[in-house]
């Protein structure tokens, strides 16, 4: 493109009255500078467009990934219901950009999950006191021991903030999750902005507007109440299952190596042995899981029963 413009410029110059060589060179240099500047401007416009596009929240299932060698496969599972441990995150993740470009806040009803789509809506129940509420899953978390990590506010409302960890049930809410999927996919559709701009409008005289229609003092200052429910408390005990031992002697060796003090037993099926530890306290679960994973036993699972 630059060569074509310069060629045209030279043709024009030499078809006119004689001009000095210095003038021609100056004209060429000025033209090149103008072209370079125009390219820079267009590049900035493209970058800004991409930045605006990247500011949108998008729907994400994601690829398989690993946490300390343990593989997780994200998927759409609208039958998801699982019991396990719940932990919480604090100010270290406040205003943190999530995997699907959402904004994490410790002051809102949010959570992080290893496999559910982003965003998803789930019901989380604290099995130790029966309290439950609905939250939005906005990010992935990197803890093998817990099934969910919630915001500080959720931990406070479910009353396990001081203990830092609790036994919990997580159930996906199908219809709200699908609605969020549709919304996030729609706002990233290429025609979304065009649809909004082309929506029919009607000119309204300012004098026709009643400033008090439907507005009350409570509407202005009162937030939507949080729906905190109470369920019957069922007692659960926590066990750690470690799979894929070759024989009972291998189990004895690892138990001795790590200095295990908790009660344990073993099971075998088709010459594959399983170590069962428990019941164990919530607070040592994460340490035990990490210990076995670091020793090469990736198939560990915390079970409530």
Half-sphere exposure of 58 (CA within 13 A, CB side): 14
Which pTM does this prediction carry? 0.71
Question: Between the CA of residue 173 and those of 76, 82, 170, 180, what are the distances in Å?
Answer: 12, 13, 10, 11
Of 178, 196, 225, the domain-final residue: 178
Angle at 170 between CA 168 and CA 175, to 5 degrees: 155
Q: Which residues have C-beta within 8 Å of that of residue 251, sequence separation ≥ 6?
A: 245, 266, 273, 275
Q: Is residue 296, in this structure, part of any structural domain at all?
A: yes
Q: Is residue 171, in this structure, part of any structural domain at all?
A: yes
Q: Is residue 22, in this structure, part of any structural domain at all?
A: yes
Q: How many domains does the chain divide into?
A: 3
Q: Is residue 89, in this structure, part of any structural domain at all?
A: yes
Q: Is residue 227, in this structure, part of any structural domain at all?
A: no
Residues 75 and 16 in one domain: no
Determine contact, residues 166/160, Cβ cutoff 8 Å: yes
Would you give per-residue pLDDT tens digits along the chain (305 residues)?
A: 555 555 555 555 555 555 566 665 676 677 666 665 665 555 554 444 444 345 688 999 999 999 999 999 999 999 999 999 999 999 988 989 999 999 999 999 999 999 999 999 999 999 999 999 999 999 999 999 999 999 999 999 999 999 999 999 999 999 999 999 999 998 877 665 554 454 454 444 434 434 443 434 443 334 556 888 989 898 999 999 999 999 999 999 999 999 999 999 999 998 899 999 999 999 999 999 999 999 999 999 999 99
Residues 17 and 82 in one domain: no
Token reading at 44 = 């900035």
Determine contact, residues 74/66, Cβ cutoff 8 Å: no
Q: Strand ranges (DSSP E) for the chain?
A: 65-67, 70-72, 81-89, 96-97, 103-104, 110-113, 120-126, 131-139, 148-151, 165-172, 229-230, 238-245, 264-269, 272-280, 300-304
Domain that holds residue 39: 2-45
Residues 171 and 69 in one domain: yes
Q: Is residue 129, in this structure, part of any structural domain at all?
A: yes
Residues 94 and 145 in one domain: yes
Residues 148 and 242 in one domain: no
Question: Between the CA of residue 269 and those of 101, 272, 304, what are the distances in Å?
Answer: 45, 5, 21
Residues 104 and 41 in one domain: no
Residues 95 and 165 in one domain: yes
Q: Is residue 98, in this structure, part of any structural domain at all?
A: yes
Q: Is residue 219, in this structure, part of any structural domain at all?
A: no
Q: Which residues have C-beta within 8 Å of that of residue 164, sequence separation ≥ 6?
A: 87, 88, 155, 283
Of 140, 162, 178, the domain-final residue: 178
Determine contact, residues 92/105, Cβ cutoff 8 Å: no
CATH number, domain of 132, equals: 2.40.40.10
């Amino acid at each position: 493109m630059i060569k074509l413009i310069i060629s045209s410029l030279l043709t024009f110059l030499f078809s006119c009255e004689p001009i000095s060589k210095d003038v021609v060179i100056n004209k060429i240099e000025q033209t090149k500078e103008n072209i370079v500047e125009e390219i820079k401007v267009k590049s900035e416009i493209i970058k800004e467009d991409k930045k605006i596009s990247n500011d949108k929240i998008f729907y994400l299932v994601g690829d398989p990934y690993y946490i300390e060698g343990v593989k997780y496969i994200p998927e759409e599972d609208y039958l998801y219901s699982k019991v396990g441990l719940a932990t919480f995150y604090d100010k270290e993740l406040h205003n943190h950009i999530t995997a699907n470009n959402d904004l994490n806040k410790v002051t809102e009803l949010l959570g992080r999950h290893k496999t559910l789509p982003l965003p998803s809506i789930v019901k989380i129940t604290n099995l130790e006191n029966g309290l439950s509420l609905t939250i939005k899953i906005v990010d992935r978390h990197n803890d093998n021991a817990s099934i969910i990590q919630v915001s500080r506010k959720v931990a406070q409302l479910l009353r396990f903030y001081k203990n830092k960890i609790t036994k919990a049930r997580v159930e996906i809410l199908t219809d709200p999750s699908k609605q969020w999927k549709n919304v996030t996919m729609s706002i990233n559709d290429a025609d979304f902005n065009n649809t909004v701009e082309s929506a029919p409008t009607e000119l309204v005289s300012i004098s026709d507007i009643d400033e008090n229609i439907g507005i009350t003092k409570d509407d202005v200052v009162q937030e939507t109440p949080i729906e905190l429910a109470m369920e019957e408390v069922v007692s659960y005990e926590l066990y750690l299952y470690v799979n894929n031992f070759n024989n009972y002697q291998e189990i004895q060796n690892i138990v001795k190596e790590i200095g295990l003090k908790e009660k344990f037993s073993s099971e075998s099926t088709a010459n594959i042995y399983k170590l069962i530890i428990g019941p164990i306290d919530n607070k040592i679960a994460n340490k035990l899981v990490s210990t076995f994973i670091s020793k090469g036993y990736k198939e560990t699972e915390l079970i409530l029963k």
